[in-house]
Structure formats: structure tokens, C-alpha cells
Amino acid sequence: MDYIDLRSDTVTKPTPEMREAMAEAEVGDDVYRDDPTVNRLEELAAEMLGKEAALFVPSGTMGNLLALLVHCQRGDEVIVGNQSHIYLNEAGGMSALGGIQACPVKNQPDGTLALDDILASIRTEDVHHPITRLICLENTQNICGGVPLTPDYTREVGELAHRNHLFLHVDGARIFNAAAAQNIRVTDLVEPADSVMFCLSKGLVAPIGSMLVSTGKFIARARHLRKMLGGGMRQVGVLAAAGIISLEKMTKRLGHDHARAKKLADRLRKVNGLVVDQNSPYTNMVYLNLSDDVQSNAQHITQKMKDHGVLVDAENSRRFRLVTHYWIDDQAVDKTVSAFQRALH
């Protein structure tokens, strides 16, 4: 069965144009820096984000880990949102592989970390304390609803960080969604950051890959650490070719995904048994709960939805996340609404 897959935007399969570019990609050994397609992708990513250099990495998780490893020494502390992907969903890589300690700060409902909370979490100079080294923001903030952080807020955190001799890393897995939602340039969102990771493999539709972007010196160190982690790839231009299409074309169409998410949320608000989060969606994610009067749980409804040809993600026993992307059209929205109606009654 051809499922309508709303579990994530990570499920996006490459477009026919991407497959063609992949088949025809000029390649070389990227560990020797000999792959012209990877070199082009890295130059393009750096240029689009207004930074000096970029590194192609297999996943967002590796990109974030490399950033932490470059910024921090063993025993250092990183201020992260308590609802952030880095803190919750990266298998504890920073502590396991970097000896780095997380200092979780409460994410506000709008995805931000309160400036006062950040300030209060910065360690004072004391022989007993770890050294605070880095602040991480996530844009868009996934668990808070796919909510975009603003350029003003990011600038304030950047200033706070630099005033206190800290670095700022942005987990911008969906930074182009954040820019599209606010109708601004992505450079406005990342200018205050010392390093940025963003994903090609989510709303930008590439089959694999993320980019780490920063200064030339930082990226040279990250390249060395990527090799250490076993992430030195060879004729990887076959993947970078899809990434170039992500950057040149897919960054320009994310508004369609946001409009479809809105349409989906508006329609689901009218379905008995569902309560869509008040401000959802901000970008391409719709978060909703089962209403109190529904006896069955989200896992059970998820199974019934699957029987009707629609895959959704149960966050817990009452909550769902639905993510729109390139392969979700208006018809898929209609089918999802009717699958929920049937699954609930």
C-alpha cells in the first residue's frame, strides 16, 4: 500500500529530479576533498547561511555532536533546552563521546529559553564548578510545536553568550522552515550564531545529509573529528547532488508545506474527539491530543489510521504529531481527515 506518511518530514523520498542528479553526479574521494559535487554543496551551504565554511555530514545528530565537540573540552557544560533534540534525542552523545555535561533549561511554550534562566545557569568561576562553554538553541523548536525563533531573540541570546565569553550553536534542523514562516532570509536567523547545523534530509527532501556551518577554522576541526567518528565519506557526491537541489529549489517551496499544515489543522479542529493545539501549526507540524471523552489511546488510533492508509506519530498515549512535507498534497490532507473520522468512530 502507498501510505500517506505524516510521521515526520524525515520520511521524504527523493524527487525524480534528485534521482537523476544523483545518477549523473560527478564524484571523487571526498576524504581527499576530491569530490566536486560535495565541494559545491559545501560552498553553497556556507554562502546561503552567510558563513565562511560548511561540512557535509550524514545526519543532524552527527552535525550537532561535532559542533559540541569543537566548542567544548571534556568536563565543560552546555546550556540546552529541556525539550531540545540535543538533550532528549541524541543518545547522550555529548556525554558519552565528549565528556560534556548538559545543563538543561526549561523551554518556554514559544520554544525560547528565558534570558534570565540562561543567565542563572551560567556557572561562576569556582574550583567546584564545570565551565559553561556553550548555549544551544533549536530553530524551529520541534517539541514546542515546530515553532520558529525570531531574529531578535536569537540576537539577544547571541549577545548574552558573547558577553559572557560563551559560544552559541543553533540546531537549525528546520532553519529554512523558520525563515519561510517569518518571510525573512535565513541569514537573519543565523548571523549571531558561532555554528549552525541544518538538515537537507527533512523538509528539504534529500535522502540523507545535514550541513554544519561556521568559520573555516571551526570546520577544519570538525572535518578532523568527523573522520574520527567514522564519518569520512568517499564518492559521496551521489548524495550531495540531491542536497544541491534541496538548497537551490526546496528551500523556496516550504510555504506550501506550512499552508497544508494549516489546512490540515483547521479541518481536524472540526473532528469530534480531537483537540488541536491552540496555535498549531507554526510551520509544518500539527500537534493534537485526543479529547478526554475518547476511550481509546493514541497508539490504538495510530494502528487504525494505518489500516486506513495513513501513518501518524503517537507522541504519548493521548498526543499526535503530524508533519507535512513535499509528498503531502491536498488530497492527502482530505484522506487524513477522513481516516481520523473513521478511526475515532
SS3 call for 321: strand
- Least distance to ligand TLP from the beta carbon of 176, Å? 13
Residue 173 binding ligand TLP, by CB under 6 A: yes
Q: Which of 89, 279, 303, 316 binds ligand TLP (CB under 6 A)?
A: 89
* Residue 62 one-letter amino acid: M
Is residue 138 near ligand TLP by the rule CB under 6 A?
yes
Q: By CB under 6 A, tell whether 61 contacts ligand TLP.
A: yes
Q: Confirm or reject binding of residue 57 to ligand TLP (CB under 6 A).
A: no
b/e map of 312-344 (b: 16 or more CB within 10 Å)?
bbbeeebebbbbbbbbbeeebbebbbebbbebb
**What are the backbone angles phi and psi of residue 60, rounded to the nearest 5°?**
-65, -40
**Is 291 one of the binding residues for ligand TLP (CB under 6 A)?**
no
Q: Is 142 in the site for ligand TLP (CB under 6 A)?
A: yes
Q: Is 10 in the site for ligand TLP (CB under 6 A)?
A: yes
Q: How many binding residues for ligand TLP (CB under 6 A)?
A: 14
Residue ranges in 203-222 that form contacts with ligand TLP under rule CB under 6 A: 210
Among 12, 59, 154, 246, contact with ligand TLP (rule: CB under 6 A): 59
Outline where 50-173 has alpha helix (H).
Answer: 60-71, 85-88, 93-98, 115-121, 151-163
51 binds ligand TLP (CB under 6 A): no
Give least dist CB 110 to ligand TLP, A: 16
User: Counting contacts by CB under 6 A, is residue 171 touching ligand TLP?
Assistant: yes
Q: From the centroid of its chain, how far is CA 340?
A: 27
Work out how close the CB of 215 gets to ligand TLP at its nearest, in angstroms, rounded to a whole number. 22
DSSP secondary structure letters along 31-61: GGT--HHHHHHHHHHHHHHT-SEEEEES-HH
Rounded CA separation 299/266 (Å)? 23
**Amino acid making up residue 110:** D
What is the rounded CA–CA span in Å between residue 246 and residue 234?
21
User: Any contact of residue 60 with ligand TLP (CB under 6 A)?
Assistant: yes
Distances from the Cα of 317 to the Cα of 89, 150, 164, 208, 289, angstroms: 19, 32, 42, 30, 9
The region of 25-33, 58-66, 154-162, 213-221 touching ligand TLP under the rule CB under 6 A is: 58-66
CB 253 within 8 A of CB 179: no
199 binds ligand TLP (CB under 6 A): yes
15 interacts with ligand TLP by CB under 6 A: no
Residue of 4, 5, 6, 8 that binds ligand TLP (CB under 6 A): 8
Query: CA 87, CA 64: separation in Å to the nearest integer?
Result: 11
Piece of the chain touching ligand TLP by CB under 6 A; list 29-37, 55-63, 159-167, 287-295: 55-63
Closest distance between ligand TLP and the C-beta of residue 138, in Å? 5
How does DSSP assign 240-290, residue by residue? HHHHHHHHHTGGGSHHHHHHHHHHHHHHHTTSTTEEE-TT--SSSEEEEEE
Of 210 and 246, CB closest to ligand TLP:
210
Footprint on this chain of ligand TLP (rule: CB under 6 A)? 8, 10, 59-61, 85, 89, 138, 142, 171, 173, 199, 201, 210
